[in-house]
Homo-oligomer: A and B are copies of this chain.
Amino acid sequence: MSAHQDVKKVVLAYSGGLDTSVILRWLQKTYNCEVVTFTADLGQGEELEPARKKAEMFGVKEIFVEDLRETFVKDYVFPMFRANTVYEGQYLLGTSIARPLIAKRQIEIAEAVGADAVAHGATGKGNDQVRFELGYYALKPDVKVISPWREWELTSRTKLLEFAEENQIPVTKDKRGEAPFSVDANLLHSSSEGKLLEDPAVAPDEIVFQRTISPEAAPDKATEISIDFVNGDPVAINGVAMTPATLLTRLNELGRDNGIGRLDIVENRFVGMKSRGIYETPGGTILLAAHRSIESITLDREAAHLKDSIMPRYAELIYNGFWFSPERRMLQALIDASQHSVNGRVRMKLYKGNVVCVGRESPNSLYDTRVVTFEDDEGAYNQQDAQGFIKLNALRLRLGGQIGRRGGAL
């Protein structure tokens, strides 16, 4: 949308903060169109009502304020965790997984209110613009997309503040100065990046962390909990059944208190550059370890290895913004097909940044003491079978060796 298109009504993902307030006004002025605001609670830990008030102040007539926490965890976070998803070996995708839900609700609202456009507040250098817009286009192919940060002239903090002042947008004192880094948060994680954090040779200051205490500050005594799983999803902590969002909230508290879930990485963005991010995913870090542990006794070997082998691609899809794509759905079908027997209880020890499984049990356990035992197995396993197994696995290597390709030389 290089030139400003003809737009009648636009649904804006609106946080109520300074930046999206400026966007709101800028949309009204630039496009001369009606703006509908959509403010969602995904567990970012902020009040939503002030956003409604502000929107009213800007003359917005259709204001949507929604608590999406349960949907977020149930339909986005949990399906992703079924795959033990990590991007580039480490990142738990806390930001990536929230964008599709926001995009989906924006489009649903656009359909409901008869809007022809949607707008978001993501910058032109990041992944989030991609995630929002791929979602928009997949769900409503003819939608017009407005990405103010790629369009407008407010390219410096000063200009932004000037615009705010000229347009009677209140700027709280703490927003006058430049934030030392940029923050995103939802029920799964908080991320911090940019500015002060741009040099990957320098460790982040303790002040950066908002959602966890440091391992050093955590208690000297470990906390032990149990988590119950049904069909690959966690359903209870210490035997107490909980809704998805409640459960993740509780895990977040447990993680926070034990210094769990901090991550400081340099990652590769879909748009082509490397960036440095500081992530805090306290509950998710516990959940990942717990899910792996319950799978370790309930999942067949080849099922597990197949999941492992497609996981990097699945993670990449989510990171890149292709949640609403045929290939993500296909991979999800494969993943979900493996989780029916992932039931049982694991006990996890939380201690100063460490998450350690200290016990797993399941009605579906494939772990068979009779077979594996060092003791007499009463015929459950015939050691003679190993010889034929090895001989036939070796056959091709031996045939190769006989004609000079010893040791797998090619």
* Bitwise interface map of A from 127 to 150 toward B, beta carbon under 8 Å scored 1, else 0: 001100110011111100001011
A374 touches B195 (CB 8 A): yes
Q: Which residues of chain B have C-beta atoms less than 8 A from A141's C-beta?
A: 397-402, 406
A394-B302 Cα distance, complex, nearest whole Å: 12
A371 CB, min distance to chain B CBs, angstroms: 5
Interface residues of A, dominant DSSP: mixed
Assess A327 versus B303: contact at CB under 8 Å? Given A140-B406, A383-B125: yes
Stretch in A57-65, A74-82, A168-176, A273-281 touching the partner: A273-281
Residue from A142, A386, A391 whose CB has the most chain B CB atoms within 10 Å: A386
Cβ of A368 under 8 Å from chain B: yes
Contact bitstring A332-346, B, C-beta under 8 A = 1, else 0: 011111111100000
Q: Does A206 contact B (CB under 8 A)?
A: no
Q: Is A207 an interface residue (CB 8 A)?
A: no
Residues of chain B contacted by A250 (CB below 8 angstroms): none
Instruction: Contacts A138-B401, A273-B395 given; indicate if A374 touches B194 (C-beta within 8 A).
Output: yes
Copies of the polypeptide in the assembly: 4
Q: Are A266 and B389 in contact (CB under 8 A)?
A: no
> Would you list which residues of chain A between 293 and 324 have a CB under 8 Å from chain B?
296-297, 300-310, 312-313, 316, 322-324
Cβ A400 vs Cβ B200 within 8 A: no
Contacts of A271 in B (CB 8 A): 386, 389, 392, 395
Residue pair A139, B88 in contact (C-beta under 8 Å) = no
Let me know if B338 and A407 touch, CB within 8 A.
no
A177 contacts across to B, CB distance below 8 A: none
Decide: B410 and A326 in contact? CB cutoff 8 A: yes
Of residues A84, A304, A366, A408, which shows the largest number of chain B Cβ atoms within 10 Å of its Cβ?
Answer: A408
Other A-B contacts than A274-B366, A334-B334, 16 sampled, CB-CB below 8 A, are A130-B386, A137-B394, A198-B369, A198-B374, A201-B359, A202-B359, A272-B301, A272-B399, A273-B395, A300-B325, A324-B397, A329-B408, A351-B353, A371-B399, A388-B388, A388-B391
3 smallest beta-carbon distances between A and B, as pairs? A388-B388, A124-B383, A272-B395
